[in-house]
Amino acid sequence: AQSVTQLGSHVSVSEGALVLLRCNYSSSVPPYLFWYVQYPNQGLQLLLKYTSAATLVKGINGFEAEFKKSETSFHLTKPSAHMSDAAEYFCAVSRYNNNDMRFGAGTRLTVKP
């Protein structure tokens, strides 16, 4: 069975500050890991994904995440927050040739001016 845990349901940062959203996974097989962003009343948009290639993954909008097997983590970071980054972020896990994707509870990012 696979699962992800997002630490912190709400993160607030100032504009220009570092963004760090935490995600830990549990999987009995090599995982595929994803970060999605959701704006109000919209579907999910893929930010980035890890599928067993490079452990440091760069995504859209300046976000990146690092897969750390020893820590079973896949934290999302961005060096400098922008007001437009305010949204809900979901970490998710699946595996090769299996589309049964499981989501974390989500982290709401607030960016203060």
Partner 1 sequence: GAVVSQHPSWVICKSGTSVKIECRSLDFQATTMFWYRQFPKQSLMLMATSNEGSKATYEQGVEKDKFLINHASLTLSTLTVTSAHPEDSSFYICSAPRTGGTGELFFGEGSRLTVL
- Quick note: the x/- pattern for partner 1 over 78-97, rule CB under 8 A, is ------------x---xxxx
Would you say 23 and 36 are in contact if contact means Cβ atoms under 8 Å apart? no
What does the block give as tokens for 113? 């001016």
Q: Does 74 bind partner 1 (CB under 8 A)?
A: no
- Name the minimum Å distance from CB 44 to partner 1: 4
* Spatial contact of 78 and 17, defined as CB atoms under 8 Å apart: no
Greatest distance between any 2 Cα atoms in the chain: 43
Task: By CB under 8 A, name the one of 44, 62, 64, 66 that touches partner 1.
Answer: 44
Establish if 5 lies at the interface with partner 1 (CB under 8 A): no
Which residues 6+ apart lie within 8 Å of 69 measured at CB?
Answer: none
What the block records as the tokens of 13 is: 């940062």
42 interacts with partner 1 by CB under 8 A: yes
Note the residues at the interface with partner 1 (CB under 8 A). Answer: 32, 34, 36, 41-46, 49, 51, 90, 94-106, 108
